[in-house]
Amino acid sequence: MAAHLKKRVYEEFTKVVQQQHEDLSAKKLRLTKPSKSAALHVDLCKATSPADALQYLLQFARKPVEVESVEGVVRILLEHYYKENDASVRLKIASLLGLLSKTAGFSPDCIVDDAINTLQNEKSHQVLAQLLDTLLVIGTKLTENPSVRMRLIEVACKHLTDSSHGVRNKCLQLIGCLGPVEKGVVKETESQAAKDVQKIIGDHFNDQDPRVRTAAIKAMLQLHERGLKLQQTIYSQACKLLADDYEQVRSAAVQLIWVLSQLYPESIVPIPSSNEEIRLVDDAFGKICHMVSDGSWVVRVQAAKLLGSIQQVSSHFLEQTLDKKLMSDLRRKRTAHERAKELYSSGEFSSGRKWGDDAPKEEIDTGAVNLIESGACGAFVHGLEDEMYEVRIAAVEALCMLAQSSPSFAEKCLDFLVDMFNDEIEEVRLQSIHTMRKISNNITLREDQLDTVLAVLEDSSRDIREALHELLCCTNVSTKEGIHLALVELLKNLTKYPTDRESIWKCLKFLGSRHPTLVLPLVPELLSTHPFFDTPEPDMDDPAYIAVLVLIFNAAKSCPTMPALFSDHTFRHYAYLRDSLSHLVPPLRLPGRKLVSSPVSPSITPHEDPSQQFLHQSLERVYNVQHLDPQGIQELLEFTIRDLQRLGELQSELAGMADFTATYLQCQLLLIKALQEKLWNVAAPLYLKQNALASAAAKQILEETYKMEFMYSGVESRQVVIIHHMRLQAKALQLIVTARTTRGVEPLFGMCEKFLQEVDSFQRCFISELPHMQGSFVDKLLDLMPRLVTSKPSEVVKILQTTLRQSTFLHLPLPEQLHRATANIIEPTGESDNPLRFTSGLVVALDVDATLEHVQDPQGTVKVQVLYPDGQAQIIHPKPADFRNPGPGRHRLITQVYLSHTAWTEPCQIEVRLLLAYNSNRSKAAAKIPKSTWSDSLEVLPQSENGIEGTIPFSKPVKVYIMPKPARR
């Protein structure tokens, strides 16, 4: 046999060499390359001791092997495998086989037989395990081949009786990964052994080695993942495994139970020790709950996590998880939560707890108290009190998921969540606040709960406070006292942490608009109005007063009776705030004010509110005045831009759209201005100033178009075309200006060619959009294309100039939703007069804290730029982990920027700002449009702009005072 094999091996080997000969003739470059397999063969033959051979193999493993020579190498290795007496070398060979079969592009069918053969005479358990691992690799590469799979499974089944756990482990893994998933096919084609993989694996649930038991469960889960429907009979076996001595077994068993509970939620299982029966999902839920008080925290985390995803469980089971029957000296005691609830419902305030206040009342029957219920009792109470914060977080998450699907449970778990606000670990606190926010639709906070929630407002962590504001934004409060309490606490927070101003105002805005009827009775008190006396006018700049007004005005929006309670100055303040803080103060219908033309058109549908109408009207006006004289157009554009910018400030929801159009009009205005110059025809050098203006305009238009393309989320392909068109116009302008200013034709050739290329690629990219662009610059240009290609640069320039002037102004359609990416640096504040001192040459860390809105993929695009006074600029890429996502469309960047510089004589300011990086290759157009319009053309297309990368500054720069001191010697 061995001799025969050897012969075969040599045959194969020579074959490979021949192949290489063919290669040699085809590609000369390979001539000098020595054959890998041959070298290995020589090396292995030279090896005198196992240690030597091992060394050679190790060296060999470091280098990759080309696909063509894999098979040859495998043969060589196999040959040595049979010759080798030392187990460690065989082990290495076996592992190399696995590694080699992983080589991309290599199909391991040809070595399956040999690999299986090697198993036959192998005595060493370790080598066997490694060989099985190799087979696993081969099997996973050949999943489409059922006969190979079957053979491998048979091999695995045969070795399942091995006495070493490692071998059995691998066998089970192999079966799990390759076992047949479709029932029908198996019966016809295959032998006895491979018939019921589930049973084979199930038999090993009772293996004597815990590692094998774990592997068996894992294999079962693997089968499930591959789509096999597990049998329900496994359930009872799995339940037994929950009491295993080893944590990894228990942990895997919990998963298996969970899987089964999802597969057979409605089937009925008996309760041992009684005649009753319950649904499987309930039983499984109870069992997993039980594991929340397991001895090993790994199992506890696992169990707590899985609890959350059992949604079908019956409600009374679910509610038991929050119930830990309290008892003191055999008498039932009420929980503190229950007591709090009672105090609340009886209308009394807590008088402070007395000694023995919690004295138990009723006697309970000693027989009825079951101290350690097998059911779900108190699982969450335990989980939330766990020692390890991992378990607590998992429990909070599970609570969140269950509460989202069951309103009644949400109501019940509230007390527990509120308790978690006082956890010792900030992560847990934060997580529970977020959880609460997620379920806030289902709940209404009682006053005492609100009290506890509000107490957290004093937390020194900004994250916590902001999360809490966020929570309050969407909380339902039941009483007017609650609102008052919330307001008072928020104002307290404001005085303690003035930087929270914006967040608190926003919070009050939502609080007001959610509870208009509760705010109404509070208005006189809040505004401190008096029926007879005039009270002094409050200070308009007081953030606390603004906060109160924000609350009231938002409530007044849906409560028309409220304005009657306002005093005169309140109206004045309203007008002021509506103007200055328009995103917080809604438009109101106030008596005696014609702010809104509501009486005129009462039939306005909500989505077409007047401001949006205004936007559209003004745009219409602009587009319709093509025939106006140039001066008129300019003026109109200027006015419209001004209007739009103002509108954006006033109407936060329209800000994106208004800004977008304003930018577009601005581009147009610049273009028109540049073209309007009367001195175009005069020789250029005389009018340098003029050229400066035009080229600056071109540059600015380019910049603006990039902003339009990359800074707004929600831009569709229609807009992208217009933006690109505008850019093309800008480029044409640039070309004209350069042609005017430079002497000689040489540089122009290149530029012209490049421009024409761009036109060409524009046409190819947006071919489907071209029909919509009648009379535009590009339309005309394309008509003239044949002429342009053949003519001289000077002529091209001339043509461009005329086309540019004659082309019409393109209509910019507006998308449904448009948001502008904004960033706001909160820290550093830029107000500090104390310079940051550090020794030059060393670094100082500057904490940067910023909020980002409507930035897609901030991890990839947002950069921090630091500008030093000497003009040196530094761009820092924050780590992906520095970005947090507190809500949809919003991000928070908290990072550290390292500064360093050579010594300065006196402190100076550096500028820190955020940049939005863009790359036209992976622009939105490229990402989105393939789906809709030019689906296949993209791959073929050589990106015209060759991926222009750039950055857009999108935050206000903040100045930081720093002082690098010279190092002391």
Partner 1 sequence: MPEIKVTPLGAGQDVGRSCILVSIAGKNVMLDCGMHMGYNDDRRFPDFSYITQNGRLTDFLDCVIISHFHLDHCGALPYFSEMVGYDGPIYMTHPTKAICPILLEDYRKITVDKKGEINFFTSQMIKDCMKKVVAVHLHQTVQVDEELEIKAYYAGHVLGAAMFQIKVGCESVVYTGDYNMTPDRHLGAAWIDKCRPDLLITESTYATTIRDSKRCRERDFLKKVHETVERGGKVLIPVFALGRAQELCILLETFWERMNLKAPIYFSTGLTEKANHYYKLFITWTNQKIRKTFVQRNMFEFKHIKAFDRAFADNPGPMVVFATPGMLHAGQSLQIFKKWAGNEKNMVIMPGYCVQGTVGHKILSGQRKLEMEGRQILEVKMQVEYMSFSAHADAKGIMQLIRQAEPRHVLLVHGEAKKMEFLKQKIEQEFHVSCYMPANGETTTIVTNPCIPVDISLGLLKRETALGLLPEVKKPQLMHGSLIMKDNSFRLVSPEQALKELGLTEHQLRFTCRVHIQDPRKEHETVLRVYNHLKAVLKDYSVQHLPDGSITVESILIQATAHSEDQGTKVLLVSWTYQDEELGSYLTALLKKGLPQGT
Q: Which residues bind partner 1 (CB under 8 A)?
A: 161, 206-208, 245, 293, 295, 324-330, 333, 335-337, 352-357, 366, 369-372, 378, 381, 384-389, 416, 419-420, 422-425, 452, 455, 458-461, 496
- Minimum CB distance to partner 1, residue 699 (Å): 50
Cβ proximity to partner 1: between 208 and 905 the closer is 208
Cβ proximity to partner 1: between 276 and 424 the closer is 424
Q: Is 896 exposed, middle or buried (0-12, 13-18, 19+ CB in 10 A)?
A: middle
Q: Are 853 and 898 in contact (CB under 8 A)?
A: no
H or E element: which one contains 353? none
Q: How far apart are CA 944 and CA 692, in angstroms?
A: 27
- Minimum CB distance to partner 1, residue 416 (Å): 8
Q: Are 435 and 396 in contact (CB under 8 A)?
A: yes
User: Nearest 5 degrees, angle CA 197-CA 198-CA 200?
Assistant: 65
Cβ proximity to partner 1: between 371 and 564 the closer is 371
Cβ proximity to partner 1: between 370 and 441 the closer is 370
- Minimum CB distance to partner 1, residue 700 (Å): 48
- Minimum CB distance to partner 1, residue 380 (Å): 10
- Minimum CB distance to partner 1, residue 271 (Å): 15
Question: Tell me, what amino acid is at 808?
Answer: T
Q: How far apart are CA 386 and CA 297, in angstroms?
A: 9
Structure tokens at 566: 């306002």
Q: Report the Cα–Cα distance between both ends of the chain, in Å, rounded.
A: 80
Cβ proximity to partner 1: between 333 and 727 the closer is 333
- Minimum CB distance to partner 1, residue 115 (Å): 27
Cβ proximity to partner 1: between 409 and 574 the closer is 409
C-alpha dihedral, 62 to 66 to 67 to 73, nearest 10°:
-60
Cβ contacts of residue 87 below 8 Å, gap of 6+? 124, 126, 127
Instruction: Specify whether the backbone of 356 is left (phi greater than 0), alpha (psi in -120 to 50) or beta.
Output: left
Identify any residues that bridge with 963 across adjacent strands, giving them in sequence order: 837
Residue 866's φ and ψ, nearest 5 degrees, are: -120, 125
Cβ proximity to partner 1: between 433 and 823 the closer is 433
415 Cα distance to chain centroid: 30
Cβ proximity to partner 1: between 342 and 539 the closer is 342
- Minimum CB distance to partner 1, residue 163 (Å): 9
DSSP 785-801: HHHHHHS-HHHHHHHHH
- Minimum CB distance to partner 1, residue 824 (Å): 24
Handedness of CA 428, 430, 433, 437 (dihedral sign): negative
Cβ proximity to partner 1: between 302 and 493 the closer is 493
- Minimum CB distance to partner 1, residue 848 (Å): 21
Q: Is 773 exposed, middle or buried (0-12, 13-18, 19+ CB in 10 A)?
A: buried
Cβ proximity to partner 1: between 332 and 928 the closer is 332
Helix, strand, or coil here: 895? strand
Identify any residues that bridge with 883 across adjacent strands, giving them in sequence order: 893
- Minimum CB distance to partner 1, residue 391 (Å): 10
- Minimum CB distance to partner 1, residue 236 (Å): 17
Mark 187-224 as b/e (b = at least 16 C-beta within 10 Å).
eeebeebbbbbbebbbebbebebbebbbbbbbbbbbbb
- Minimum CB distance to partner 1, residue 468 (Å): 13
Other CB atoms within 10 Å distance of the CB of residue 617: 11
Cβ proximity to partner 1: between 295 and 591 the closer is 295
Cβ proximity to partner 1: between 416 and 574 the closer is 416
The 3-class secondary structure across 52-100, one letter per residue, is HHHHHHHHHHHCCCCHHHHHHHHHHHHHHHHHCCCHHHHHHHHHHHHHH
